[in-house]
Structure 1
Amino acid sequence: MDRKRIYNPSSNETLTERRVFNGNPHGILNFTKAKYQWALKLWDLMEANTWFPKEVDTTDDVRCYAHELTQAEKRMYDLVWSQLISMDSFQTNNLADNINPYITAPEINAVLSRQAYEEANHSKSYAVMVEAICDNTDLIYEMEKHDDVLREKNDYISSVYAELAGEVTDEKLLLAMVANQILEGVYFYSGFTAIYSLARAGKMLGSAQMIRFIQRDEITHLLLFQNMINSVRTERPDLFTPEMEAKIYDMFKKAGELEIKWGKYITQNQIMGFTDDIIEQYIQYLIDQRLVAIGLKRLYNVAHPIKWVDDFAKFNDQKSNFFEAKVTNYSKGSISFDDF
């Protein structure tokens, strides 16, 4: 598969001929003519939810980190930011370098570009939090050099993306979309929930508010890749062979193992309401939700074990179920839709 041409005036591709990849795009972005209406809705939603890290007041978190967190909580807090910093750093580059160059629908190109900006904005938010609150900023940004468990997780995530550095095939690009769905819908969640567990105990409330902003973005990113995968399923059903589906299930299983290991590692059974058993069941629940969203079967058939997390993820009058990836209303916008 070749990278798409930036400008291709000889293209006669019609809207009905447009494809997620392997199309023949003109290179002109026209928001009034789009095949993938879900991409336009996502663009409007992401635009309506624009936010900046300076909107979050972290003053009380500085005091809380220094005087109220236990050593176990402080360790967990530092490790969470190290992991989130790594993943958003990966994603900012991955979207621009490995994914978008091969996507041939201009409206999807636009949303991927918007996502890349949001991932960088998340990195800015982490810098705000870490610089203001944590004891050792440099250590947090270089934690993977010192922590084997973090390094294992980062190495695996980056290795999946690195496969695109060679010859790109239809199958590889589909698996890269799945890898992005996993990152947006599984890998972030131990970290998110760890911060919410502190807020549930009345601690680090500013940090929890920052996570709400970030998670609100991540759900749109998850919806983006779920819709990309489902659109490819419609356009290229030949790609969804039993062998391909087996690879996808294996990717989810491996991701689940890593995220469960990470969640147990950062909490060490010392965080109230966030035990090893809960972490395992929670990640398995998320994996089942993500699989169903792309037309596959559940692996674990478990219930959501910590529904209190849903309340912490809510945003003012926002009514959403982040874990089923269904958005009905957002506090900064009036857009309402259920077709995701």
Structure 2
Amino acid sequence: MIRKKIYNPESKEKTSERRIFGGNPTGIFELNDLKYQWAYNLWEMMLNNTWFPKEVDMTKDVSDYKNLTSDEKSAYDKVLAQLIFMDSLQTNNIIDNINPFITAPEVNLILVRQAFEEALHSQSYAVMVDSISTNTDEIYELWRKDMMLKTKNDAIAQVYEELAQNPTDRNIVKAMFANQILEGIYFYSGFTYLYTLARSDKMLGTAQMIRFIQRDEVTHLLLFQNMINSTKRDRPELFTPDLIDEVYEMFRSAVKLESEWGAYITQGQILGLTDDIIAQYIQYLADQRLHAVGLEKLYNVEHPIKWVDNFSKFNDQKTNFFEGNVTNYSKGSLDFDDF
């Protein structure tokens, strides 16, 4: 597997011959001639979702943070440290590690947009840390010093490192699943703790910032799920039984890792988040992600904290990617009367 050419006038590739990876693109963005319509629909949604951290009022969070218990502060700081790592990783991973091998121009378009959004999220966390926390430097050093966090980060980065060191068809497919897990399990788990504070009328500005961030992450999750499903249709021979077994093991490992992390940061001291609830929620997320790409569920559990879904909802959040109908999100503020 080699990186695509950025200028390839010798290419005679037809639109119908495009592939998510392994194609032969010209390097020209012909956006009136698409193979993957879902990608352009997603591009338009991402543009409609444009927002900036300065839109969120963090004033009340400054005093709220001071009044958190020591356990709540510790968990808040660790969650931020985890989110900082993941968005930092993704900004570089998308541009340097994934996009160079993606050969469908309409997909290149949204990967560039995703990288921008991941960088924007890093700015959001900087705003949160600098305006709220009294130990800014410590939070930014946790990824080095907290061994539980470092172990988790090392595991997340491993699949991306495999692709960087050995860019094969198989490793690109695995990296797509790794992105699905990152966007659809690890991020969701971190957001849930911050929503739990907001449910107790604490850190509402943080919850609003996370709400904007999660709205972006929904599109990132849809991006990789559609990349996986499109590759399955175009190149079914890549999805061998042993690859599928490896994917299932990736999900099992992710569930175990995130469940242990959730128990570690909450220490049984966060109202509404017991170790069992955390584990079941992560299992539920894993099942949802597997089902979205046509794989069997592993856990078959119910959603244990359905209230959390209300926190990430914006008005008119409706999209049909395959029929091409996109409804704009609106930028409302949180209404906690419903929770």
Query: Same-fold call, TM > 0.5?
Result: yes
Corresponding position of 1:162: 161
Within 2, Cα distance between the matches of 1:108 and 1:24?
A: 14
Residue matched to 2:102: 103
Secondary structure at the aligned position of 2:26 is classed as coil
Q: Which runs of 5+ in 1 are unaligned?
A: 322-326, 334-340
Alpha-carbon distance between aligned partners in 2 of 1:254 and 1:282, rounded to the nearest angstrom: 15
Q: Determine the C-alpha separation between the residues in 2 that align with 1:272 and 1:108.
A: 42
Does the CA-based 8 Å contact 2:45-2:328 persist in structure 1? no
Q: Which residue of 2 aligns with 1:7?
A: 7
| Structure 1 position 135, deviation (Å) | 1.1
Match of 2:19 in 1: 19
Q: Residue 114 of structure 1: SS of its match in structure 2?
A: helix
Residue 227 of structure 1 aligns to which amino acid in structure 2? Answer: N
Aligned residue in 2 for 1:188: 187
Cα deviation for residue 319 of structure 1 reads 3.7
Residue of structure 1 equivalent to 2:113: 114
Q: Please tell me the root mean square deviation across aligned C-alpha atoms, in Å.
A: 1.4
TM-score normalised by length of structure 2: 0.94
| 1:89 matched residue in structure 2 | 88
Deviation string, structure 1 residues 278-306 (Cα, Å, up to 9, x no partner):
00000000000000001100000000000
- Structure 2: gaps spanning 5 or more residues: 320-325, 333-339
Count of aligned pairs between the two proteins: 326
Question: Hey, what does 1:324 align to over in structure 2?
Answer: none
2:322 corresponds in structure 1 to: none
Instruction: State the shift of 1:331 in Å.
Output: 1.3
> Percent identity among equivalent residues?
64
Matches within 5 A, 1:54-73: 54-66=54-66, 68-73=67-72
8 A contact 1:118–1:217 mirrored in 2: yes
- Residues 244-293 of structure 1 show CA distances to partners (whole Å, capped at 9, x for unaligned) of 00000000011111111111111111111111110000000000000000
Partner in structure 2 of residue 311 of structure 1: 310
CA distance in 2 between counterparts of 1:175 and 1:318 reads 33
> Residues 320, 200 of structure 1: CA spacing in aligned structure 2 closer, same or farther, 3 A cutoff?
farther
Flag as ranges the 4+ runs of structure 1 deviating above 2 A: 318-321
TM-score (norm 1): 0.94
Q: CA deviation at 1:2?
A: 0.4
Q: Which residue of 1 aligns with 2:213?
A: 214
Q: Is residue 245 of structure 2 the alignment partner of residue 255 of structure 1?
A: no
Q: Distance in 2 between matches of 1:210 and 1:40?
A: 26
CA–CA separation in structure 2 for the residues paired with 1:259 and 1:328: 33
Kept in 2, the 8 Å contact 1:190–1:262? The answer is no
Equivalent residue runs for 1:124-203 within 5 Å: 124-203=123-202
Partner of 1:37: 37
Q: Quick one: distance in 1 between partners of 2:327 and 2:303?
A: 20
